[in-house]
Amino acid sequence: MTSPGSRDVVIIGASLAGLFAAAAAATSGSRTMIIERDVLPDSPVARKGVPQGRQPHVLLHRGLLAAEKLIPGIREDLLSHGAVPFDTGTMAWLGEYGWLPTWIPAYETVSATRPLLEHLVRKRVRELDGVTLREGVRVTELQRDARNWHVVCDDATIVRADVVIDASGRGSRLPLGRAADPGCSPRLCVPNVSSHWGAADRVWGGDSSHPGDRPERARHPGRRRPLARRRRWVWRPATDA
Ligand SMILES: Cc1cc2nc3c(=O)[nH]c(=O)nc-3n(C[C@H](O)[C@H](O)[C@H](O)COP(=O)(O)OP(=O)(O)OC[C@H]3O[C@@H](n4cnc5c(N)ncnc54)[C@H](O)[C@@H]3O)c2cc1C
């Protein structure tokens, strides 16, 4: 149930940032609409809007705690769908100075595919009171008057909103934020938030059970981590560490 006088929130993008933002907005009793340009799959498969979705992913400990707070039970949900929990202290990391010790307990991490995580989070968010998800619709522009935002979509609809959250990813081409509109009132406008960070991984597998045997190791020192599937390894260049 939304409370009288609650705000209308529009979220652009139904990937993980958008879905978790919707879960947070739902706790405040807002009416929340997520607008996503992709037609969303009803199974855990990669999709066009998240090209890195095919890359191996793990849910780190702090992320897991935050996810569990917004969507209680999501950890159990993941495990019951085949995600693999493991202690990061037992992870095989091969770095510039050799193998890290694997016997010091650290934090729990959940290894799951990116599509599975998104699929389960999306399923739970769809069930939240006050949240609707419009898919197959691309936001093209944001307009505003003295009080409200107007979210312009490529199906010729315009959605009014008190708050707009741009979760359209780092590749977004939407002209949003204070920089895009110097006259924007601080009440309506929030500066963009960037992690200023990027990553590139490479996966390889085969018969070798020891990734240090691979010739790539000698040429490109980097970090390795195991995947949920056996005999597959991730190589991440040391320069992004
Ligand atoms: C190689 C690699 C490995 C990674 N490994 C991990 C990992 O192990 N653990 C981890 O937590 N993270 C990992 N990440 C990061 C993680 O994948 C991203 O941080 C995450 O997907 C970002 O989510 P997002 O919701 O911000 O944006 P995105 O996933 O980019 O989603 C943006 C969404 O907005 C939609 N959209 C875009 N424009 C519009 C529009 N105009 N109108 C409507 N919808 C729009 C898109 O279709 C998409 O659904 C990795 C990333 C890479 C590249």
104 Cα–ligand 1 center, Å: 32
Which of 48, 62, 91, 168 to probe ligand 1 with, by most ligand atoms within 8 A of CB? 168
Of the candidate ranges 24-33, 57-66, 223-232, the one whose mean pLDDT is the lowest = 223-232
How far lies 167's CA from each of 13, 127, 145, 216, 238, in Å?
A: 5, 20, 22, 36, 29
Q: Which residue owns the Cα nearest ligand 1 atom 7? A: 57
Q: Tell me, using a 6 A CB cutoff, whether residue 14 lines ligand 1.
A: yes
Q: Tell me, using a 6 A CB cutoff, whether residue 18 lines ligand 1.
A: yes
Q: Is 81 helix (H, G, I), strand (E, B) or coil?
A: coil
Strand 108-111 relative to strand 58-59: parallel, antiparallel, unpaired? antiparallel
Rounded to the nearest angstrom, the gap between the alpha carbon of residue 153 and the centroid of all alpha carbons in its chain is: 23
Going by pLDDT thresholds of 50, 70 and 90, the confidence category of residue 92 is confident
- What's the rounded Cα separation, in Å, for the pair 238 and 96? 8
- What's the rounded Cα separation, in Å, for the pair 38 and 1? 28
Query: What is the pLDDT at residue 220?
Result: 45
Classify the C-alpha dihedral 192-135-78-223 as positive or negative: negative
- What's the rounded Cα separation, in Å, for the pair 209 and 207? 6
pTM (two decimals): 0.80
Rounded to the nearest angstrom, the gap between the alpha carbon of residue 164 and the centroid of all alpha carbons in its chain is: 18
Kindly report, residue by residue over 183-225, the tens digit of the pLDDT.
Answer: 555 444 555 666 666 666 666 665 554 444 444 444 444 444 5
- Closest by CA position to 226, among listed 119, 118, 129, 109: 109
The answer to whether the beta carbons of residues 152 and 145 sit under 8 Å apart is no
Query: What is the pLDDT at residue 54?
Result: 85
76 Cα–ligand 1 center, Å: 23
Domains in the chain with CATH codes: 8-57+115-180 (3.50.50.60)
Kindly report, residue by residue over 118-167, the tens digit of the pLDDT.
Answer: 999 999 999 999 999 999 999 999 988 888 999 999 999 999 999 999 99
